Structure formats: C-alpha cells, structure tokens
Structure 1
Amino acid sequence: MNGVPKKEQAVYRRVVRRETHAPRTGAAVVLAAVLVLVLLVALGLSVWWLVDPAARGGLADRMTPLTSRADDSASLVAVGVLALVVGIALVLAAVLPGRLRRRARRTDRLALVVDDGVLADAVVAAVAVRCGIDPRQVSATVGRRRTTVRVTPTSGVPVDHEAATGTVAAVLGRVGFPTPQRLLVADRGVVS
C-alpha cells in the first residue's frame, strides 16, 4: 500500500471495519434506557423519602417481608453476584463490537469484503464438481478458524478425501481467504 495516499488507506480501513462489524446501537440504547429508568426511580423514591415522613413508615412496613427473607447472607450474595454478572454482560454487549460473518482483504487499489456464505457456496460447487456428485449432497460452513465440508456420497461410490480437501484449499486460496479445512463424509450414501 505504498503507492496509495494515507487518506485512501484510512477510508479503506474504515469501510472494511464498518462492513465486518455489527453495530451495537440497539444494545447501547437499551442499556441507556434501563439505566435512566433505574436512576429516575431511585431519584423519585429518594425525594419521596425525604419529603413525606409518612412514606418512610409505609415503605418500611412494605419492605419488612422482603428484608426478613433477606437475612440469609448467602441469598444476598447470590442475588448480588447475579446482578453483577447481568450488569457486566449488558455493558459489554453495548460497548464491544459485534462481528459479522464476513472476511475482508485490502490491496493497493481496492478493499474486498466477502460473506462467509458466499465462500461456502463456492466450496460446495467446487467439491461437487471435483467429486462428481450433486451439489445438494455437499454442504460447507466457513467459520472464523476452520472450513467444514460435509459430503454425502452416492451409494457405492467412494469419495476421494485428498482430492476433496485439496479442492477446498485451492478454492479458498484462489480467493485469498485460506483456512484449515475438515472433511466429513457420511457413512451412508444416497441412492442416485
């Protein structure tokens, strides 16, 4: 990327990031709304507690059954830990970026973003042609770390494992997204 201006490199980087990461605006809005609601309720109860002396006694009477059950410190600790875990999970879901099932590659002149489903379809087509079987007998899943191909052979016709795995490696290597692959061949074939 030596010949490309820094401004274009920054644009490529930004576009690739936007296309490969899921937005977390929904989770952030839900978290903010829950926090605002909790703070408003706490503020309202505090003001009510300070302004109305009768509310103090009524609120204390209503809380007595709950506080009598809460004398067990183990249950309080369990509720506290559960609330902490839920809170941390909500904050992390709102703040951390989500990953989409896409892969990206940049060169000097372009940025390429490919959906994992498209790569899986290319693998299925190539393996079906190479093994001489119907594409409906092949399925592929392209994951973050591995490509898994499942083949259901035609009954009585063996599948060449090396040829199939070589085909998967060649297809993914040609498009520039090589991953380790695993080939699973069904024990029973289908009748042709």
Structure 2
Amino acid sequence: MSNAILNRIVRRETHTPRTTAMFVVVLLLAAALVYLAVEEILHLSGVGPLLWSPVDMVAWASALPTEQPRGAVAVGAAVVVLAGIVLLVLAVAPGRRSRHALDATDHAVLVDNGVIASALSRRLSEETGLSPDAIVVGVGHRTADVTVKPETGWSLDERHVREIADAEISRYGLSPSLKTRVRISRAGQGG
C-alpha cells in the first residue's frame, strides 16, 4: 500500500466521524420541513391546521420583536446562537479518538491511549521500584500525565521520572508525539 493510503487509513481511525451529529441535524430539518409541508397542504385544502396555520406562523414571526417580552426573545436568540456555535464547532473541530499511530513501522499500526498509559506505568514501576498502584498515568492527545505517589521514606526526583517517561515514549515513535508532565505527590503517603 502507498503512504498516502496508509495516512488516510490512520487519519480515519484516529479521528471521529461527524455522522451522528449530521444525522441528528438532518433528521430535525427533515421533520421541520415535513411538518411545514403538511401544514401548507392542510391550509391550501381548507382543513384546519394541526398546530398553527402557515399564515399564523408568519404573523407570529413578524410580530415577535414587538409583542413578546424582550427577555424571552433574548433567551430564544441565545439558545439559537448556542446551538449554532455547537454545530459550528462540530463541523470545524477535529474529533479525535483516544489512539495514536506508531511511526516505527511501514504499516498502519494504531495503539489505544490506555495501552500506552499501561505500558508507561509498568516501565516507570520497574525503573523506580515502586508498586504499580503508586503510579497513575493518563494519556491524552498531546500529553502524558504521570502522577507518582511514593510511599513514606521513598525519595524520587521529578526530573529522573520525566527522563524515564520521555525515553519510553520516544521509544514508541508515536504520532502525534506526547509531552510528559510529571507530578510527585507528597500528600497521602503511607505504607
């Protein structure tokens, strides 16, 4: 397979599709259009409306700024603007799945963030001599957060832990790469 095809596969598997959001919006728009069509057909055939006749809808919309309380109009407008912002963010922002690609091979290899966190935690446990329960690792899209809770009497250097974590992460060859944040927790130490 060519590099372009592999890159496309990796992108598709590391980013979420917007199918669900698009489906909901299309379903709501289709329902509104069907309702408006039914109301128009009922109006043209001389039968009473289901809820509002098209003439009443237009009259209400044109009188909305003057007859309704300004607070209600402002709240309605804020809700519409908020819905628009949410839809805009869904359309523009890249949705990411909790996966990273390994650049170390010529194949498309994806690794879940939980697997990366588990492997990093195990490596830190082996290198520092702490129990696996004393190390908590969380992996996001761009960062690996490491929290170490050493038992009483253990002395750990934050820089040393960061060097171990950075070396292990660089060994994986992840794309996108991760920055490491390390915290040595002194609270709640106990045996």
TM-score surpassing 0.5?
yes
1:21–1:85 CA distance, 2 compared to 1 (3 A): same
Q: Which residue of 1 aligns with 2:168?
A: 171
> Relative to structure 2, which stretch is displaced further, 141-150 or 163-172?
141-150
1:159 corresponds to: 156
Partner Cα distance (1:9, 1:142) in 2: 27
| RMSD over equivalenced CA pairs, Å | 3.0
SS state at 1:109 partner: coil
Structure 1 residue aligned with 2:130? 133
The residue that corresponds to 2:182 in the other structure is 183
TM-aligned CA deviation for residue 48 of structure 1: 2.3
Q: Secondary structure at the match of 1:98?
A: coil
Taking a change above 3 Å as real, the CA distance of residues 101 and 89 of structure 1, as seen in their structure-2 partners, is same
Q: Choose 137-146 or 99-108, whichever is displaced more.
A: 99-108
CA distance in 2, matches of 1:170, 1:31: 46
What CA distance in whole angstroms lies between the structure 2 residues aligned with 1:29 and 1:84? 20
Ranges of 4+ aligned residues in structure 1 off by more than 6 Å: none
1:31 and 1:91 in contact (8 A); partners too: no
On the 8 A contact 1:16/1:104 being kept in 2, the answer is yes
- The answer to whether 1:71 aligns with 2:68 is yes
CA contact (8 A) 2:113 2:140 kept: yes
Partners of 1:30 and 1:94 in 2: how far apart?
13
Provide the TM-score with structure 2 as the length reference. 0.79
- Structure 1: tracts of 5 or more residues without a match: 1-6
User: Identity over the aligned pairs, expressed in percent?
Assistant: 26
